[in-house]
Each structure stands twice: as C-alpha cells, then as structure tokens.
Amino acid sequence: MKKAITVALAGNPNVGKTTLFNTLTGSRQHVGNWPGVTVEKKEGIREYSGRTIEVTDLPGTYSLTAYSADEVVARNFIIEDRPDVVVQVVDASNLERNLYLTMQLAELGRPVIIALNMVDVAEGRGDTIDEKRLAELLAMPVIRTVGTSGEGLLDLLDAVVAIAAKGEKHTHTIGYGDDAEALISDLVGILDDDPDLAPRYPLRWLAVRLIEGDADIRRVVSGSSVGDAVSARLADIDFDEYEATLADKRYEAIGAILPQACTICVRKMTGSDMIDRVVTNKYLGIPIFLALMWGAFQLTFAVAEPFMAGIEYIFGWLGEGVAASVGPEWLASLLGDGVIGGVGGVLVFVPNIFILFLILSILEGSGYLARGAFIMDRLMYAIGLPGKSFIPMLMGFGCNVPAIMSTRTIEDERDRLITILVNPFISCGARLPVYILFAGVFFGRDAGNVIFGMYILGILVAILSAKLFRSTVLPGESSPFIMEMPPYRIPTLKNALLNMWEKGSTYLKKAGGIILIGSLIVWFLASYPAGVGYGSEESFAGMIGKFVEPLVAPLGLDWKIAVALIFGFVAKEIVVSSLGVLYGAEEGSAALSDALLADPALSAAGALAVMVFVLLYMPCVATLAVIKKETGSWRWAGFSVLYGLVVAWSLAFVTFHVAGFFLGGA
Amino acid sequence: MASCPLSLIAPGTNATVTMVNAGEGLRRRLYELGLVPEANVTVVTADRGSIIVSVAGCRYALSRGMAMKILVAPEMVAV
C-alpha cells in the first residue's frame, strides 16, 4: 500500500472549513490539542481511490503573520510537518480578504489547492466567479465546493491525489518591489550558506519573515551558523515599514488578480456615511474630483468677468486722466505706462484670484480636499509617491511656497524631495493672470476650457516628472501612510471669506510691492537710453529682448514676450505687468488685451505656447528660495530651474507647432 | 471573537481594537490618533488600495499595510 497523503486544511474563520472537514472525514476524527498551546487540533482520515488521506484541520486564521497562537500553529504545521497538500477553504463571497491568506500560503513552499466555498452565496448576490481564470492567475487548482451538500468534494479529492502524486513544490510567489527584493535575495544568499536551514525552511519565506520583523524566525536564524551575518544585514532596517510595504504589495497582487476572475465581487454597502462612499468610490471618485475642479475654473472666469470690466474701466479712466493733466512728459509716461499699465494690468485679475481662492477655501472647509488626496492615493502610488504628497500639490494651486513648506509632513526623505521638485509645475494663482489674459484674448468663450487644460497639463507634467525622478535620480518605494480625513461640514461664509482674504491679500501686497518695482524697472528699461522711442527695439528692454529673441522665436514668440518672461522670474504676474508696460507705448491708453490681439507677431498658437511656457518654465524667486531652504542645497534649486526650462521650452515648442497646425499661425 | 487585522474586516463593520502590533514610533503615532486598545473603530470604505476608518469621531485614511498592524475584534454580525 502506498504511503498516506497528508493534507492540511487552512482558511479564514467562518468560511465553512469545519463543515468541509466533517464532510471529508465523516466520523473518523481525532480531536486533541496542539503541543504546548490550548488550540484544538482535529485530525481525520479519508480513504479515496485506493489512497489513505490524512486531513489536519488547522486553526482558522486571517493571515500567517504569527501575531496569535493560532497563526503560529498553522504556519509551523505547514513548515515543520510538510503536508503533501495544503487545501485552503475560501469564502467566495469575500474573495479579497481570503486571498490575503492565499498569498502567504503560497510562500510556504507546499502545493496549495483552493476549495472555493460559498459560491452559492456569492452568485446569489450577483457575483460571477471564473474559477478557471482564478486558477490560472494564482497558479494553483481552484475547485468549487459546497460544504453542506458535499458538492465538489470528489473533484477536490481528485485534485488532492493528483497534486500529491506530482509531489511538486509550489513556486509561484509575488514580487515585493525592487527595494525589498534586493534585500530578500541578499538574505537568501546568506541563509543558503547554512546547511541546516535550507532543508527545513523555504529560504525566500524565511527572508520575507525576517524583514517583516518576525521575532520567532529571528530566534531560529540567530541560533544558526549564519546568525551574525543575517543580523549584520538587518542592522539598520525599519521592520515596520517593510512589513507594511509587503502587506500593501500582497493587496496589490490581489487587486490585480480579482477583477480578472470575478465580475462583481463587491462587498455589501451598509452603514450611514454615503458621502464618503460616493466621493471616494472606485469609479466615481476621480470623475467627481475633475468635475468639481472644472466647475471651479469655469465659475472663476464667469463670475469675475463683470468685476474685471469694471476695474479695467477705472484704470483706463485713470490713464487718460494722467495723460491729460500731468506736466512733464516723462512723469506722465512713468505714471501712465509704468504704474498704471503695469500694476493696473495685474490688479485687473484680483477678482479672479479672489474667486478662485474662495472656491478653494470652500472645498477645503467642507472637508472635501482631504478626500481629493485620498482619491489620488492610488494614482500617487502608481507614480511612486505616498497619497500624502497630493496635499502639497493641491495647495500648489494657491501658491507653491506654502505648498513646498507643507511637504514637511512627509516622513520619507526621497518622497519629500520628489514632491518638492514637482510642485512648481502645479499652476499657482500667480500664473492665472497670464492664462486669463491670453486665453481671454485669443480663445473667447473657450477660455475656461483652455485654462482648465493648463491646470491639467501642469498636473500631468508633475506626475510624469515624479515618475521620471523616481525611476532615475531618486529610486525607492513609497511608504505606507496615515492621513487624517476631517469631518464634512458646511463651510461658513465668514470662514470662507476670511480664508480667501488671507490668501488673496498677499496677492494685493505683491501688486503694491514687488510688482510695482518690477514694473518701474521695465518702464525704465523701455524708456532709456534717452531719446529712443518708448518700448522700441532700440531701448534697453528692446536690446535685451532682441538678444534672447532667437531662443523664443521657435516658440512663435517675439522680443516683447521674451522681456516679460525674463522679468516673470521675479514673480509670474510680472509677465502680465511687463507686457502692460511694453505694449502701453504703442497703443496709447488701449487695454492690453486689445493691444495683444492687434499685434501681428502673436497668434492663437503663440498664445498657447506662452501659457505653456509660463506654466512650466521655472519656479519664481520666492519658490526657488523655499526649495533651497527645504532641500538644504542650491543643487536641487538649480536642478529645478534647469529641468523646468528644458521641459517648458520643449512642450511650448510642441504646443506651438501642433496648435499652429490646427489653428493656423505657426 | 478572535482578533483579526483591521484591513480584513468589511466596510460598515464596527470593531474594537485589541492590539497595535507596531514598533515604538508607529505605535505611538497610531495611539495619538486614537487607535488604542479598547477603542471602537468603524471601517467606512475599503474599495481602494487604502481604507478609511472612523475612530473617536475622526476619520483617517490608512494604507492597507498600516491597517494590517491594528488587530481588532469585529462586532458579531449574523452571517
């Protein structure tokens, strides 16, 4: 007679394991205790097709992480007693949770068969499970069973006999990411040197347990001949972090398998909080987020328009008054072209800035923004950043300076550095006037969509850059996270207005300070040396602009834009104020928008190129200073400038030519 | 009922924290958030890579890996 086949029955609690055990073994059971612990041990025997099958019912466990006596018993039995086959009883109506244990069983080196139980419950609920596909993906047999009726039992026994006859080890394992895998293969190499460990344990599993900080396994290895070498390799490892990362990877593997093998497999929705369910929903979350953002920009543009017209009218009137009544011609030019043209050109956008800040304040106060970060977690994870990195990105829509400071909450140094470096691509409030000006002039009713497109482009460039940095200069895995979700509340108008004022007033201060100074400098450069036509090519501004013009000419831009871009480095609004100053010369008191439209050197394609360039070209002075401060070196600040210029130039070039093809003008 | 990791319980389930299996630093952080033994937690959503839990009136998003470290005893529900 052939040797008996040993089978270990594993599974989560309450999956019908005991029922299946009883149906399998009938009355031929023996109940005892596992040695040393008060955990019940049940064994039974079944004769099938001429073979004796000895079944051991392992304690029901959710995982094999050795947190409880049950888990230790279960995994020690599989490791030490080496059953010929491990049968995992799986609750088909709760596949995701059950497969976590499967992922761990697969690492123990024994062949695993899945007994897919409770399929009736799952299918009664509307799930459709393709067990053949599941078997393929898991690389292990999957047999449908109904414990109570004994359905599928003979198929299961056939599979057990067949697998036992093959006597293969199970070799399918999941990948834990480059970082962990490097460590695992180092450890496997070290462990392999001990002649006693390799026959007793699957080495990969030992290595995985070691980096997950398993104290039991650490003791086993410490007593071996390679104990010191292993300790040395594990000396400065954050076990907690690895444990969490590895768990995340297992869920990721399950997440990749499930949708391919099961059509619905969703859990029942009970409980009260519908809002979180809806706005963080797997399918609705991102569309809702995008729709809200799109609505915000449309609203910004529509609501602000009458206010803008009013402010424009006031500055036009002021300009005419100055031209008519101020004595010396140079003073009239300084006030009219420099101050009113420059600062006025920026102040026109105050309504937009305030409305955008108001909407962001409302979203923040309502608690929605944190959900936005949560929704983006999967996306962030895919690009190699923790979900937390999304908050600085959202804050970047206001201003990159506080956004970069807020990265201090990110623990991992490399995660933080990447989040800092991509932040300048998130379109801040200062860039909005440039878009409004150019989109408003050249795209009319589509201006809102064009501006929304700029924000999306900024996000895309940030994401792709993060991915690029992650795979080149700053490799690593993103770390697991905890993030607070503030409660939903209806924001009070008072709070929203206060918040808006707090952020918006810095814009006003900038207009009175750095932008005024910048405008005066541009005015000076445009007016001198003495005797040249104001803002002409012979002025200092013209000379500078002409000098760099060859660089921007391929983008469809002329020297005036070049000068504005150079000054925009101080603060991006200055692009607008500089243009206000420079164009003020030719067009008298006409509004800047009319002047731009009349300029034959500018086309709609060129306008798009300007927007793309301003979006991406380099962090402003204040952002650069904070990058230097937060990264502790000029190296990264310099890198950020160079990288930004290259990306901006390339994309503006592509934009100009592609848009030119469709819109004409290239 | 036996304890299981927080990451494995179904959305809408109420549970009591029994143990936080984390190193010193992380445990302190979780404790600060109110994820202490005896605390009541509710899983709000779990259909993404990470889960949202409600504890002591606050909501937190936790990655699945973090949630593995928190052992809870789920409230008995009819099967």
**Reported confidence tier of residue A486, pLDDT bands at 50, 70, 90:** low
| A158 and A303 share one domain | no
CATH topology of domain B4-74: SH3 type barrels. (2.30.30)
| A183 and A34 share one domain | no
* Residue A12 counted as an annotated binding residue: yes
Taking the C-alpha atoms of residue A430 and residue A575, their distance in angstroms, rounded to an integer, is 10
Q: What is the percentage of chain A residues whose pLDDT exceeds 90?
A: 14
Per-residue model confidence (pLDDT) at position A588: 43
Residue A171 included in any domain: no
Write the pLDDT tens digit of every residue in A178-187: 888 999 999 9
Nearest to B21 by CA among B34, B6, B11, B32: B6
Per-residue model confidence (pLDDT) at position B29: 72
Chain A within 8 Å of B14 (Cβ-Cβ)?
no
Per-residue model confidence (pLDDT) at position A37: 58
Per-residue model confidence (pLDDT) at position A5: 92
Residue A576 included in any domain: yes
A43: domain CATH number is 3.40.50.300
Asked if residue B78 has pLDDT above 60, the reply is no
A218: domain CATH number is 1.10.287.1770
Give the DSSP per-residue string, A288-323.
HHHHHHHHHHHHHHHHHHHHHHHHHHHHHHHHHHHH
Residues 620-659 of A with CB under 8 A from B: none
Asked if residue A248 has pLDDT above 80, the reply is no
Residues comprising chain A, all counted: 666
Taking the C-alpha atoms of residue A320 and residue A331, their distance in angstroms, rounded to an integer, is 14
SS3 of A113-126: the string is: EEEEECHHHHHHCC
Two tokens, residue A343: 């600062």
DSSP 3-state of A137: helix
| A227 and A259 share one domain | yes
| A57 and A161 share one domain | yes
Residue A486's identity, in one-letter code, is P
Per-residue model confidence (pLDDT) at position A484: 67
Taking the C-alpha atoms of residue A471 and residue A356, their distance in angstroms, rounded to an integer, is 35
| Contact (CB<8Å) B50/A387 | yes
Taking the C-alpha atoms of residue B10 and residue B7, their distance in angstroms, rounded to an integer, is 8
Sign of torsion over alpha carbons A327, A329, A335, A340? positive
CA A184 to chain centre: 27
Residues comprising chain B, all counted: 79
Chain A within 8 Å of B49 (Cβ-Cβ)?
yes
* Least CB–CB distance from A483: residue in B30, B61, B65: B61
Asked if residue A479 has pLDDT above 60, the reply is no
**Average pLDDT for residues A618-630, to the nearest whole number?**
82
Domain termination residue (choose one: A279, A310, A343): A279
Asked if residue A241 has pLDDT above 70, the reply is yes
- What range does the domain containing A260 cover? 178-279
CB atoms within 10 A of CB B1: 13
* Residue A13 counted as an annotated binding residue: yes
Residue A487 included in any domain: no
Antiparallel, parallel or unpaired: β A51-57 and A5-11: parallel
| A326 and A454 share one domain | yes
A373 contacts on B by Cβ (under 8 Å)? 61
| A35 and A53 share one domain | yes
Per-residue model confidence (pLDDT) at position A66: 67
| A466 and A366 share one domain | yes
CA A175 vs CA A37, A211, B68: distances in Å: 34, 14, 19
* Residue A467 counted as an annotated binding residue: no
Two tokens, residue A199: 């026959």
Chain B within 8 Å of A600 (Cβ-Cβ)?
no
Query: Which letter, b or e, does each residue of A57-93 get, where b requires 16 or more Cβ atoms within 10 Å of its Cβ?
Result: bbbbbbbbbbbbebbbbbbbbbbeeebbbbbbbbbbb
A483 contacts on B by Cβ (under 8 Å)? 60-62
Residue A607 included in any domain: yes
What is the overall mean pLDDT for chain A?
81
Is the distance from CB of A430 to CB of A573 less than 8 angstroms?
yes
Taking the C-alpha atoms of residue A204 and residue A176, their distance in angstroms, rounded to an integer, is 12
Write the pLDDT tens digit of every residue in A118-146: 888 778 777 788 889 999 988 899 999 88
Q: Which helix H or strand E contains A420, and what residues bound it?
A: helix A413-422
- Any bridge partners for residue B52, and if so which? B45, B61
Per-residue model confidence (pLDDT) at position A155: 92
* Least CB–CB distance from A374: residue in B2, B29, B52: B52
Give me the residue spans of the domains in chain B: 4-74
- Any bridge partners for residue A511, and if so which? none
Which of the residue ranges A25-34, A488-497, A553-562 has the most confident prediction, judged by mean pLDDT? A553-562
Taking the C-alpha atoms of residue A356 and residue A293, their distance in angstroms, rounded to an integer, is 10
Q: Which long-range contacts (CB under 8 A, 24 or more apart) does A167-173 make?
A: A167/A84, A168/A111, A169/A109, A169/A110, A169/A111, A170/A106, A170/A108, A170/A109, A170/A110, A170/A111, A170/A112, A170/A139, A170/A140, A172/A106, A172/A138, A172/A139, A172/A140, A173/A106, A173/A107, A173/A204
Domain termination residue (choose one: A279, A309, A336): A279
| Contact (CB<8Å) B62/A481 | yes
Is the distance from CB of A614 to CB of A451 less than 8 angstroms?
no
Candidate from A84-88, A162-166, A292-296, A509-513 with smallest mean pLDDT:
A509-513
A378: nearest CA in chain B?
B49
DSSP 3-state of A156: helix
Is the distance from CB of A557 to CB of A543 less than 8 angstroms?
no
Q: What is the percentage of chain B residues whose pLDDT exceeds 90?
A: 0
Cis peptide before A424 (omega within 30 of 0): no
| Contact (CB<8Å) B60/A485 | yes
Asked if residue A291 has pLDDT above 90, the reply is no
Write the pLDDT tens digit of every residue in A30-71: 776 666 555 678 889 999 888 999 999 998 887 787 666 778
| A233 and A291 share one domain | no
Give the closest-approach CA distance of B78 to chain A in angstroms.
11
* Least CB–CB distance from A276: residue in B4, B45, B69: B45
| Contact (CB<8Å) B68/A247 | yes
Nearest to A561 by CA among A548, A570, A571: A548
B45 contacts on A by Cβ (under 8 Å)? 276-277, 280
A387 contacts on B by Cβ (under 8 Å)? 50, 61, 63
**Reported confidence tier of residue A340, pLDDT bands at 50, 70, 90:** confident
* Residue A506 counted as an annotated binding residue: no
Helices A559-568/A540-552 angle, 10° precision: 100
| Contact (CB<8Å) B60/A484 | yes
* Residue A26 counted as an annotated binding residue: yes
| A256 and A228 share one domain | yes
Query: Which letter, b or e, does each residue of A117-137 get, where b requires 16 or more Cβ atoms within 10 Å of its Cβ?
Result: bbbebbeeeebebebeebbeb
Domain termination residue (choose one: A132, A166, A200): A166
Is the distance from CB of A112 to CB of A160 less than 8 angstroms?
no
Per-residue model confidence (pLDDT) at position A616: 92
Candidate from A18-22, A85-89, A179-183 with smallest mean pLDDT:
A18-22
B62 contacts on A by Cβ (under 8 Å)? 481-483
Residue A529's identity, in one-letter code, is P
Residue A481 included in any domain: no
Antiparallel, parallel or unpaired: β A5-11 and A85-91: parallel
Give the DSSP per-residue string, A42-98.
EEEEEEETTEEEEEEEPPP-S--SSSSHHHHHHHHIIIII--SEEEEEEEGGGHHHH
* Least CB–CB distance from B66: residue in A65, A244, A266: A244
